Structure 1
């Protein structure tokens, strides 16, 4: 390989890696300045930073279960300013008996999840529609590659809890049912794509309307 091609290859590779993750921090930390809306400074003055900026207690207890039996508490820069620029975030997810985390994906992050309690049927689907799923139990870990649809369901007879970690401070979340039926995609397209009647589509749209998310 010529020197020019070698330089081009590594340049393209570096660009790919740079675009595939959050930017590297240029300071020890940059605690999000909550008053940045009224100032031009994105970071809290380092002289005013305390240990409390790096501690978050919001996942000590589970949240309120949704209609699907899921109680999810995200831990991102919006609630934990100390995460700012560090390229990571997490989530606590509790499942009622039979509770599910509907098929969804994170466009900007890979997720790794550890089961703290219970038994979770957990898996993802790749771009060839192959499913990788199994029941994982307390102490076991599963990884969900970036951008792939994944899901969880409590298959035990007690509450279950998982702790998920992301390699982005803002992984994003798009739930498949809500994205399809909670948006304004033309009804004709949905009829042809899913073989549904207008009545069935109307029922699904009512269920997944934005105010129900």
Structure 2
């Protein structure tokens, strides 16, 4: 009986391995003219690719930090850098003016690792147990932010700060909590009930961030 069970298990495992998809190609440069699917973009024909298809040159310029939050993010995700499609990696540049902030946000589909290139940045995240992990980062410091957890970056220095963020997904996703609440048309009474903020404070924040409702 035991021998039969072992033989059956071996057959099941062999069938399972046989059914696993093999890596049929080295890369899948995104065809942005096609629709995005749950598994990413369809691939461009390899015959249409050149060396330039695997190079992105959009991170050399500073982002525009003349806005309400004093910060800018320049992404190199699949939509901007088609070569990362399907590879499980991407990168973005962060520019922060003095006192600039990347507000509390999450990346639902990717872990993040942040490298500070210029300035002083206070960064942190909140675990699902509501424990805060915060650190003041200097040039050369690196901090990781696990997927799906609220986190932030603040320029606490006197000059502009620059950092590069790498992600474990070509489409890490982004939801900024203050913008979701106060730059949307979510009714004010819902925000007041769910955040315990006063009506006047909700209206002030909606006016500041451009929300309605």
Whether TM exceeds 0.5 here: the answer is: yes
1:33 aligns with 31
**What root-mean-square deviation, in Å, do the aligned CA atoms of Structure 1 and Structure 2 show?**
2.7
1:56 aligns with 56
2:43 aligns with 43
In structure 2, distance between residues paired with 1:143 and 1:164: 9
CA contact (8 A) 2:179 2:209 kept: yes
- Deviation per CA, 1:95-127: give whole Å up to 9, x if none: 111111111110111000001111110110111
1:116 aligns with 117
1:75 aligns with 76
In structure 2, distance between residues paired with 1:194 and 1:85: 38
CA contact (8 A) 1:24 1:86 kept: no
Report the Cα offset of residue 34 of structure 1: 3.3
In structure 2, distance between residues paired with 1:85 and 1:194: 38
In structure 1, distance between residues paired with 2:188 and 2:159: 40
CA contact (8 A) 1:120 1:135 kept: yes
1:159 aligns with 160
Report the Cα offset of residue 28 of structure 1: 0.5
Please, which runs of 5 or more residues in structure 2 have no aligned partner?
14-20, 36-40
Give aligned pairs, total: 191
Under a length normalisation based on structure 2, what TM-score does the superposition of the two structures give? 0.80
TM alignment of 1:1-213, pairs within 5 A: 26-36=24-34, 42-65=42-65, 66-209=67-210
Please, which runs of 5 or more residues in structure 1 have no aligned partner?
12-22
CA contact (8 A) 1:25 1:85 kept: no
In structure 2, distance between residues paired with 1:168 and 1:136: 24
In structure 2, distance between residues paired with 1:62 and 1:24: 41
Give the 4+ runs in structure 1 shifted more than 4 A: 23-26
CA contact (8 A) 1:25 1:86 kept: no
Under a length normalisation based on structure 1, what TM-score does the superposition of the two structures give? 0.80
Structure 1's 69 and 118: CA in aligned 2 closer, same or farther, altered over 3 A? same
